[in-house]
A = this chain, B = another copy of it.
Amino acid sequence: MGGELSSLLAPYGVAVVGAGPASGSVGGEILRNLVRCGHSGPLYAVNPKYDEVAGVPCMPSVDRLPDFVDLAILAVPRDAVLRIVDACGGRGIRNLIIVTAGFKESGREGAELEDALRHLIARHRLRVIGPNCMGILRRTGEVQLNASFSRWFPEGGNIAFISQSGSLGETLLECFAEAGLGVSLFVNLGNRAGLTEDDFLAELADDPSCGAVFLYLESFANPAAFRRLVEDMAPRKPVVVLKAGRTEAGAAAVASHTGSLASSDAIVDAFLRQSGALRVTTVQETLTALRALERRVLPKGRRTLVLTNAGGAGILAADACERAGLDVPRLSEDVQDALRSVLVPEAGTGNPVDLLATAGARAYEAAIDIGLREADAAVVIFRPPLVLPDPPVAVADAVISAASRWPDKPVVVSTLSEQSTEITERFHAARLPVFAMPETAVEALSVLARASLVQKRQTEDVPVSYSVATAQRVIRDARRETRIGLTFSEGATLLSAYGIGVCASRYVGAAEDLRAAVAGMRFPLAAKLDSPQLLHRVEENAVALDLKDPGDVKRAVERLLRSPVAAALPDARVLVQEMQRGRELILGVKRDGAFGPVVMFGIGGTYVEAFHDVAFAVAPLTQRDAISMVSSIRAARLLGAFRGQPAVDLGALTRALVALGQLALDVRDIEEIDVNPLFADAENLTAVDVLVRLSSPVPRDRGGESAAETE
């Protein structure tokens, strides 16, 4: 506690402006929630029409509130909001929740009003949630606060839930209650005119009442800030993110829903993975992930023991493991012998371990104890059969007891029944995640496996020095000529300044003695037209390959200079290069409206064009990000030794990806760079072509990382 937001999250005096006694009054609902939740400090309503609302004293205006009110909640008509915010600021009330809607989400007029609101917030240095929000809920050892119109005041627990959407947030709170998940904080951000998810993440980092964070987001207020905060927090407290608007169709809906700028989903995916957040896709997956994380025992590896008294369910669980990337390894003969010594002869001991319907408490306990010797985690399926010597709770207790002896190995349970019984209660109480379906139990385990990888992450970055000044000089020269394209030679200078090798090349003229010009170069050669206005050389037929001798070169140079493209580009020159060998790769960086520079990687060649097999990462890239990019493409194995070609130098490749991202961060004029192709072999990376496009020369209001602010 005691963070920046402590007086907002644990206020003393609270006032609801616009509260009325009518049942349809949102302010009245909020006031009644405040009364009911057991808030310990004084409460006020503000409304000129009443002296009292819901048993709470009512003041005619904000000015009349006593000094110790440190949080005001505004549920007033839209056109009164600015005036009241100003009054609160004047009165020294710095914490506000603005419930009122009709701002940015409702069109141009509302957007202008929101701009004015932002100015007021800055002027009075206010901490404002909203507008267009539902409010906050807080339950900790000391604080009980329902400062919202949510019908749900969830159980206390260690999840902090930050939701951009109000209605979905309330829905999820209801689902949390059904799933037995408790929260220490719920906040609905609404339009984020003041506080954003980042302010709350900063507050939660050291909040002992928060064990895990869940965010529902439709866009990121400030991706770079979000990433820094999550990178810091995720290894200690899991951060689960449900990011909506993940696809084209969804993105259209986001744009019309909150006016946010949506980004291509592949970038969001990369960004969240880089940050260390655990992305979930559906409401159901959200609940599963949060329940899995309650006990916070993370597996050391992927080896999964499946233990069942119902054969078919064991198979479904093993199937689900395979789909989720978890292994269900056959147990060793030693362990199987140990299992056989405690189980009935008909039991299956390979893995899944099929205990058969007759298995009682002793069989379960022994099988978990023995099986976990060779596994990192267990899925235990227990459906009480028709006939069983032990009472079902005895079996549950045996499972709990065995699990407690393996404090480093998660055990998740499936009961094959949606109904809550004494058994599920038992597992709940012991904090063993328990689910009806075996596939859901496996999904829970796979979330834990992902969380474990985040926990093990290390910051390993070696500082590299780049020649930033050289790169900036190249851009300045181009800017001076009001160009947005660079020549090959300028592009090559940029890459070299960031440590990326470029193929040796020379400009030649038609009148030149070509034999002399190419002396010392290794045939075969390639010749290309080059001009800062020529952005698609191959498509424009401005390349000649496989030139075997000076005669070939001469003919190619003449053809290129006589070509229609050259005629249209008076500054076009011809460039001659040595042909390269090795694996053909594509590297690139593009500035995204929301996330800033995004680095791209793929393997070149005809087929990749058909497969769209590329990976992304948001700059800055760590070495780990670059490795994860390279290994995530489907054809990654082509980078190893393949068909007689040696393995590519992966160290050089990942360094190049990191450098490309940094180049675009350092030089904000760069809109995009395509390094295509780049040839890689065991020793070298050699860029053969590079196209650079700068941002439009008309200066725009953008500023690198802060341009990522999407609001």
| Residue A440 at the chain B interface, CB threshold 8 Å | yes
- Complex contacts, A436 vs chain B, CB 8 Å: 175
Give A416 Cβ to nearest chain B Cβ, in Å. 4
* Residues 413-436 of A contacting B (Cβ, < 8 Å): 416-419, 436
Given the interface pairs A244-B319, A418-B175, A607-B638, the reply to whether A167 lies near B357 with Cβ below 8 Å is yes
Distance of A26 Cα from B417 Cα, bound (Å): 22
- Complex contacts, A321 vs chain B, CB 8 Å: 249
Contact stretch, chosen from A2-10, A345-353, A586-594, A700-708? A345-353
Q: Flag if B313 contacts A168 (CB, 8 Å).
A: yes
- Complex contacts, A601 vs chain B, CB 8 Å: none
| Choice from B106, B386, B418, B635 contacting A607 with Cβ under 8 Å | B635
- Complex contacts, A638 vs chain B, CB 8 Å: 606-607, 610
| Residue A256 at the chain B interface, CB threshold 8 Å | yes
| Choice from B106, B316, B383 contacting A283 with Cβ under 8 Å | B316
Q: Flag if B437 contacts A284 (CB, 8 Å).
A: yes
- Complex contacts, A284 vs chain B, CB 8 Å: 284, 437, 439-440
- Complex contacts, A105 vs chain B, CB 8 Å: 346
Q: Flag if B606 contacts A643 (CB, 8 Å).
A: yes
| Choice from B254, B314, B386, B418 contacting A315 with Cβ under 8 Å | B254
Distance of A607 Cα from B321 Cα, bound (Å): 29
Q: Flag if A418 contacts B106 (CB, 8 Å).
A: no
As a 0/1 sequence over residues 134 to 163 of chain A, the CB contacts with chain B under 8 angstroms (1 = contact) are 000000000000000101000000000000
Q: Flag if B247 contacts A318 (CB, 8 Å).
A: yes
* Residues 645-693 of A contacting B (Cβ, < 8 Å): none
As a 0/1 sequence over residues 610 to 624 of chain A, the CB contacts with chain B under 8 angstroms (1 = contact) are 110100000000000
Distance of A256 Cα from B350 Cα, bound (Å): 8
| Residue A44 at the chain B interface, CB threshold 8 Å | no
Q: Flag if B319 contacts A246 (CB, 8 Å).
A: yes
Q: Flag if B608 contacts A282 (CB, 8 Å).
A: no
Q: Flag if B310 contacts A168 (CB, 8 Å).
A: yes
Q: Flag if B282 contacts A315 (CB, 8 Å).
A: no
Q: Flag if A167 contacts B313 (CB, 8 Å).
A: yes
Distance of A327 Cα from B252 Cα, bound (Å): 12
| Residue A577 at the chain B interface, CB threshold 8 Å | no
Given the interface pairs A256-B348, A313-B167, the reply to whether A320 lies near B282 with Cβ below 8 Å is yes
Given the interface pairs A168-B316, A171-B416, A417-B174, the reply to whether A634 lies near B611 with Cβ below 8 Å is yes
| Residue A245 at the chain B interface, CB threshold 8 Å | yes
- Complex contacts, A314 vs chain B, CB 8 Å: 253, 257
| Choice from B248, B330, B346, B419 contacting A322 with Cβ under 8 Å | B248
| Choice from B178, B354, B357, B642 contacting A419 with Cβ under 8 Å | B178
Q: Flag if B419 contacts A310 (CB, 8 Å).
A: no
Given the interface pairs A167-B383, A310-B167, the reply to whether A250 lies near B319 with Cβ below 8 Å is yes
As a 0/1 sequence over residues 60 to 76 of chain A, the CB contacts with chain B under 8 angstroms (1 = contact) are 00000000000000000
As a 0/1 sequence over residues 90 to 114 of chain A, the CB contacts with chain B under 8 angstroms (1 = contact) are 0000000000001001110000000
Distance of A253 Cα from B284 Cα, bound (Å): 27
| Residue A387 at the chain B interface, CB threshold 8 Å | yes
Given the interface pairs A178-B419, A418-B178, A440-B284, the reply to whether A313 lies near B253 with Cβ below 8 Å is no
Given the interface pairs A282-B320, A318-B247, A437-B284, the reply to whether A253 lies near B165 with Cβ below 8 Å is no
Give A471 Cβ to nearest chain B Cβ, in Å. 35
Q: Flag if B437 contacts A244 (CB, 8 Å).
A: no
Distance of A94 Cα from B178 Cα, bound (Å): 50
Q: Flag if B175 contacts A315 (CB, 8 Å).
A: no
- Complex contacts, A247 vs chain B, CB 8 Å: 318-319, 322-323
| Residue A311 at the chain B interface, CB threshold 8 Å | yes
- Complex contacts, A607 vs chain B, CB 8 Å: 605-608, 611, 635, 638
Please, which residue of chain B has its CB at the minimum distance from the CB of A415? B171
| Residue A29 at the chain B interface, CB threshold 8 Å | yes
Distance of A246 Cα from B439 Cα, bound (Å): 13
Give A16 Cβ to nearest chain B Cβ, in Å. 15
Distance of A354 Cα from B253 Cα, bound (Å): 9
Give A632 Cβ to nearest chain B Cβ, in Å. 14
Distance of A346 Cα from B387 Cα, bound (Å): 61
- Complex contacts, A165 vs chain B, CB 8 Å: 310-312
Give A322 Cβ to nearest chain B Cβ, in Å. 3
Distance of A179 Cα from B534 Cα, bound (Å): 63
Q: Flag if A316 contacts B357 (CB, 8 Å).
A: no
Please, which residue of chain B has its CB at the minimum distance from the CB of A633? B610
Interface centre among A24, A244, A348, A643 (most CB of B within 10 A): A244
- Other than the given A175-B418, A611-B635, 8 more pairs (CB < 8 A) read A107-B346, A218-B315, A245-B315, A253-B311, A253-B318, A253-B352, A284-B437, A611-B613
- A-B pairs, top 6 by smallest CB distance, nearest first, are A168-B312, A165-B312, A247-B322, A167-B310, A250-B319, A607-B607
By a beta-carbon cutoff of 8 Å, the part of chain A in contact with chain B is 24, 26, 29, 102, 105-107, 149, 151, 164-165, 167-169, 171, 174-175, 178, 216, 218, 244-250, 252-254, 256-258, 281-284, 306, 309-316, 318-323, 327-328, 330, 346, 348, 350-352, 354, 357, 383, 385-387, 416-419, 436-440, 605-608, 610-611, 613, 634-635, 637-638, 642-643
